[in-house]
């Protein structure tokens, strides 16, 4: 099988082959094994973490929204004012009522989120939604005061 690489890709391959003292075929075999191992671990429920700053890690992972931890903390504080603990919200599509339990940061991508539970059924069931979705018009504030 003959593969065609861009100039940049071929240059990266050549540099890796030189620095690792590998043939192109050996490098491709190692890359395939690494990719297979990574896929297997993700399918087994493991998560992937990158060291370094969060923005660089999010950019590397392909996140559409790279946010620093500090930015996420600021946004969570702002969200606490909009949706305080025990405030009640109506989901406009379903009409169901929910109570906010807390505003948090999703560890995997540093995205602010809202944790809430239904005012119907079992209150032990908590839902988590990115804050960007919670505040985009899907929910309407009923009361900032506990019921």
Write out the residue range of the structural domain in which residue 98 sits: 69-143
* Separation between Cα atoms, residue 15 and residue 6, nearest integer Å: 14
pTM: 0.55
Q: Are 92 and 125 in a shared domain?
A: yes
Q: Are 82 and 128 in a shared domain?
A: yes
Q: Are 75 and 119 in a shared domain?
A: yes
Domain-located, residue 52: no
* Separation between Cα atoms, residue 31 and residue 27, nearest integer Å: 6
pLDDT in tens, 68-98: 888 999 999 999 999 999 999 999 999 999 9
Query: Is the per-residue pLDDT at 55 higher than 80?
Result: no
Number of independent structural domains in the chain: 2
- Residue 57 vs residue 71, higher pLDDT: 71
| CATH number for the domain harbouring residue 75 | 2.30.30.320
Q: Are 74 and 136 in a shared domain?
A: yes
The pLDDT-based confidence of 64 (bands split at 50, 70, 90) is very low
pLDDT in tens, 10-23: 998 999 999 989 89
């Amino acid at each position: 099988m003959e593969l065609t690489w861009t100039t940049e890709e071929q240059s990266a391959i050549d540099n890796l082959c030189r620095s690792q003292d590998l043939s192109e075929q050996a490098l491709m075999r190692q890359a395939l094994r690494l990719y297979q191992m990574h896929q297997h671990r993700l399918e087994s429920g493991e998560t992937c973490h990158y060291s370094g700053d969060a923005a660089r890690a999010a950019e590397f992972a392909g996140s559409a929204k790279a946010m620093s931890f500090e930015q996420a903390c600021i946004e969570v504080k702002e969200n606490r004012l909009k949706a305080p603990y025990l405030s009640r919200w109506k989901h406009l599509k379903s009409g169901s009522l929910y109570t906010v339990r807390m505003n948090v940061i999703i560890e995997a991508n540093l995205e602010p989120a809202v944790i809430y539970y239904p005012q119907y059924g079992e209150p032990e069931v908590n839902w988590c939604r990115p804050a960007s979705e919670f505040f985009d018009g899907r929910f309407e504030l009923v009361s900032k005061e506990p019921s």
